[in-house]
């Protein structure tokens, strides 16, 4: 029996305000609150809220037969809590149905897996704790930022306790193989992998409203017929896409919501069911390994990292960011730690991409900057101020080992002070009791 596995990504970055060179050392708040709030609320109204209602109705209508999964970055959750908490309320309702799964990823939607394994592990743990707190689920399936994957990354993820992961069914990796099976990592056989069927997915996300597409218009009946026509032995169809497909990337007037509402009915009529990533990975055995020596992603035709680290500007900014990581981890300043997370978001590096700038698409559609060079200059000004704040607490003249030793001493002193304060409080309370008792005796 064929099964459709839907997974939806929800992510929005904390966009940076215009930060000039002259702001360095004077202004330590980096974010464009107006843009962040207005963009998120607009997307919530057009996409997230109506999509939440639609999927809740579908889950209830089909009494548990319809199932989906979400991967929501920590930075998106932070913004939703501030600007659109009703979206989180809707996701909580979906979680309570028992038919919606939440996946693990990096909290900051970062590229830390490529340059900072320790930070990568910390963010995955932090994200899992956030998902547990909000949706009362412990994620068991890992989905990396932009579906970035390699053999080395699979090892890192496996060491964190995950044995299930999803990534892109890239042609340069699969060759003649189909993405419609469960595979496993070539270096870690116990790591099961689900691969995105990019062709079928992008028929919805990119081509649904394209009048020039030879298969336009796309109807639910036609889409399900394509799935039904795949070879019988190919039982798993993984449709991984941005949640903004519904209402934002594909506006409501295109009929995208009606398409989605009709899809389960035609699927069930063709004996096609729905399942979450963990259900599929629990039920099916891998048919073989896939080898990915160089990282892949779900972006562009190349399915590589060039959208984020493809030019000198991007690599310079990323290396500078990674260079300060050890000192940031030593600090306890809550504001620094928060800024550290938000500055790691992959979007900042995507805005510096020169791949599509001459064409204007998709760069100008998503970037708040007039050019990749403006994005680089703005980000580096912010990063310069951030690094200065870190070094003000932990100067270059002090080595990391010395800092670690000093912090240990400081923390031990803090514990000792707290212990002495508790003892002093206990003595004071005892003295008060003795005084009150003596007063009572004198009165009597």
What's the pLDDT tens digit per position in 392-408?
Answer: 988 776 555 555 555 55
pLDDT at 123 over 70: yes
For residue 86, give both structure tokens: 């009703």
What's the pLDDT tens digit per position in 350-386?
Answer: 999 998 765 545 445 689 999 999 999 999 999 999 9
Rounded CA separation 95/75 (Å): 20
CA distances from 84 to 47, 76, 92, 307, 385 (A): 12, 10, 13, 29, 30
Domain boundaries, given as residue ranges, for the chain: 3-290, 308-393, 401-444
**Span of 25-29, 49-53, 192-196, 422-426 with lowest mean pLDDT:** 422-426
290, 183 in Cβ contact below 8 A? Answer: yes
Q: Is 121 helix (H, G, I), strand (E, B) or coil?
A: helix
Rounded CA separation 256/143 (Å): 25
CA distances from 150 to 143, 164, 385 (A): 12, 14, 33
Query: Is-catalytic flag, 152?
Result: no
What confidence score (pLDDT) does residue 317 get? 97
pLDDT at 420 over 80: no
- Topology classification of domain 3-290: 7-stranded beta/alpha barrel (3.20.110)
Give the predicted TM-score (pTM) of the model: 0.88
Query: Of 101, 105, 119, 146, which one is the catalytic site residue?
Result: 146
Cβ atoms < 10 Å from Cβ of 178: 15
What's the pLDDT tens digit per position in 35-91?
Answer: 999 999 999 999 999 999 999 999 999 998 999 999 999 999 999 999 999 999 999
Rounded CA separation 279/198 (Å): 21
Rounded CA separation 47/15 (Å): 20
DSSP string, 190-221: T-EEEEE-HHHHHHHHTTTT-TTSTTPSP-HH
Helix (H) or strand (E) holding 91: helix 85-96
């Amino acid at each position: 029996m064929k099964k459709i596995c839907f997974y939806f990504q929800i992510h929005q970055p904390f966009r940076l305000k215009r930060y000039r060179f002259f702001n360095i050392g004077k202004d330590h708040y980096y974010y464009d609150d107006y843009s962040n709030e207005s963009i998120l609320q607009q997307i919530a109204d057009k996409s997230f809220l109506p999509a939440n209602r639609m999927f809740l109705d579908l889950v209830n209508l089909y009494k548990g037969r319809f199932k989906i999964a979400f991967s929501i970055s920590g930075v998106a959750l932070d913004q939703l809590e501030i600007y659109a908490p009703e979206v989180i309320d809707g996701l909580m309702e979906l979680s309570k149905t028992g038919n919606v799964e939440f996946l693990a990823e990096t909290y900051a939607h970062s590229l830390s897996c490529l340059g900072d394994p320790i930070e990568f592990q910390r963010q995955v743990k932090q994200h899992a704790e956030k998902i547990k707190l909000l949706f009362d689920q412990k994620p068991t399936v890992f989905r990396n930022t932009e579906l970035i994957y390699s053999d080395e990354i699979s090892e890192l993820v496996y060491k964190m306790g995950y044995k299930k992961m999803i990534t892109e069914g890239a042609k340069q990796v699969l060759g003649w193989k189909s993405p419609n099976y469960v595979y496993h990592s070539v270096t870690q056989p116990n790591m099961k992998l689900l691969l995105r069927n990019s062709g079928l997915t992008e028929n919805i996300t990119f081509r649904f409203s394209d009048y020039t597409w030879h298969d336009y218009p796309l109807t639910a009946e036609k889409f399900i017929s394509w799935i039904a026509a795949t070879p019988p032995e190919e039982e798993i169809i993984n449709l991984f896409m941005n949640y903004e497909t519904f209402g934002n990337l594909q506006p409501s007037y295109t009929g995208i919501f009606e398409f989605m509402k009709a899809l389960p009915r035609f699927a069930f009529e063709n004996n096609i069911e729905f399942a979450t990533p963990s259900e599929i990975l629990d039920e099916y055995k891998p048919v073989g390994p896939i080898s990915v020596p160089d990282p892949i992603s779900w972006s562009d035709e190349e399915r590589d990292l060039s959208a984020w680290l493809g030019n000198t500007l991007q690599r310079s900014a990323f290396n500078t960011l990674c260079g300060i990581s050890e000192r940031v981890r030593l600090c306890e300043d809550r504001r620094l730690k928060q800024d550290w997370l938000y500055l790691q978001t992959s979007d900042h590096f995507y805005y510096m991409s020169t791949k599509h700038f001459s064409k204007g698409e998709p760069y100008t559609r998503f970037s708040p900057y007039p050019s990749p060079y403006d994005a680089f200059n703005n980000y580096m000004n912010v990063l310069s101020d951030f690094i200065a704040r870190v070094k003000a607490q932990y100067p270059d003249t002090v080595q990391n080992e010395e800092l670690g030793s000093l912090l240990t001493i400081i923390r031990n002193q803090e514990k000792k002070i707290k212990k002495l304060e508790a003892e002093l409080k206990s003595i004071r309370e005892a003295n008060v009791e003795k005084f009150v008792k003596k007063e009572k005796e004198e009165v009597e």
